[in-house]
Amino acid sequence: MSEVFVAILMGSDSDLPQMQPAIDTLAKFAIRTEVKVSSAHRTPVATHNYVTSADQRGCGVFIAAAGMAAHLAGAVAANTTKPVIGVPINASLEGMDALLSTVQMPGGIPVATVAIGKAGAKNAAYLAAQILATADADLAVRVKAERAECAKAVEAKDAALQAQLAK
């Protein structure tokens, strides 16, 4: 089997600006990705074929992003037993329609759902890294180091704030 990778599927190419943080975050962890536009509604057969192929080729986690009816994550989850993370995209109704469509899955077909838009995309990548890190000790070290760097950055911001307030 080839190197484990994360598959990122988007319902439309217009989702890329909101999904770029996921791509960038996975690259920071040196996690291989495949990024694809695939629609649960407009290309259901191609979506099915990609998911089953990726599953066989070593995909460890799927991230699926869609707006409006947002059935992509559910369509992916219906065709794999690998973890699926859904990212609701703000395409209408401030993304609330996509959030509800992504999170309301029937029992037995789970989709981990993160926040709407860019923050969700970034968290989807972190969650994918954490999932993969359960079987990859080197990645686990990198994830822990990233978490420590984030904590240091917050501490530095607080120190700067405290210095500013003390003036």
Which is nearest to 67 in space by CA: 31, 23, 37? 37
Same domain, 33 and 62: yes
Shared-domain flag, residues 122 and 147: no
Structure-token pair, residue 57: 């080729």
Give the residue from 148, 129, 121, 165 showing the smallest Cα distance to 28: 129
Q: Note down pLDDT in tens along the chain; length 167 residues.
A: 358 999 999 999 999 999 999 999 999 999 999 999 999 999 999 999 999 999 999 999 999 999 998 999 999 999 999 999 999 999 999 999 999 999 999 999 999 999 999 999 999 999 999 999 999 999 999 999 999 999 999 999 999 999 999 98
Cβ 63 vs Cβ 6: under 8 Å: yes
Task: Write down the pLDDT at residue 1.
Answer: 37
- Nearest to residue 3, comparing CAs of 154, 138, 119? 138
Provide the pLDDT for residue 167.
87
Residue 69 confidence (pLDDT) = 85
**Domain shared by 96 and 166, yes or no:** no
pLDDT, residue 56, reads: 95
Please indicate, yes or no, whether residues 144 and 65 belong to a single structural domain of this protein: no
Residues 161 and 117 in one domain: no
Q: How far apart are CA 136 and CA 98, in angstroms?
A: 32
Return the DSSP state at 94: G
Question: Can you state the angle between helices 118-133 and 137-165, rounded to 10 degrees?
Answer: 140
Q: What is the CATH number of the domain that holds 75?
A: 3.40.50.1970
- Show the DSSP H helices in the chain as ranges: 16-28, 44-57, 72-77, 96-103, 118-133, 137-165
Q: Dump the DSSP string for 72-89.
A: HHHHHHTT-SS-EEEEEE
Q: Do 166 and 95 fall into the same domain? A: no
Domain range for 12 is: 5-135
Return the half-sphere exposure (C-beta side, CA atoms, 13 A cut-off) of residue 37.
Answer: 6
> Distance (Å, rounded) from C-alpha 137 to C-alpha 157?
31
pTM assigned to the model: 0.94
User: 144 and 88 share a domain?
Assistant: no
